[in-house]
Copies of this chain bind each other. A is one copy, B any other.
Amino acid sequence: MNIAFLRRAIKIAEEKSKSGINGPFGAVVARGDEILGEGWNQVVENNDPTAHAEIVAIRNACSCKADFRLQECTIYCNCEPCPMCLSAIYWARIPEIVYACTRDDATDAGFDDALIYDEIGSAWNDRSIKRIQAERETGKKVFQKWLANQDRINY
């Protein structure tokens, strides 16, 4: 953990959100004292609801490392990650998170993080999204083919 990188994530959040176009979020992915990737919220600028600071930083760090895993890295964020970004941190195998503000601070600033945490933790029938399931047996055949493929790369 390098406190300078947390301060940098906060600074990125401040600088990049000044115009009001980008949300006030910044992130830095570092391996020890080396920054591999940075990111800031670009949802509105890029018309991309997935372009949260942490997602962008992870993509940049993976590009830098030419790897889809960041096992020896730390991610520094100005705010506790939303469930999308926290899940991405798990998929990237990042073992350590350093953040400043909490999800409740994000809620106070007008963001839906806490609501989505509640939804993700609920059963389908209690969620606000409509869910329809069909064709499961057809779908399972694709998974069976995957498992039978000796050339598959696990990730």
Contact = CB atoms under 8 A, between A and B. Distances in A.
Interface string A89-119: 1111111111111100110111010011101
Given A78-B139, A142-B78, A44 B155 contact: yes
Given A120-B117, A130-B95, A138-B7, A62 B48 contact: yes
A14 to B, nearest CB: 5
Interface of A: 1, 3, 6-7, 10, 13-14, 17-21, 23-24, 43-44, 46-50, 52, 55, 58-59, 62-63, 65-70, 78-80, 82-84, 86-102, 105-106, 108-110, 112, 115-117, 119-121, 128-136, 138-140, 142-143, 145-147, 149-155
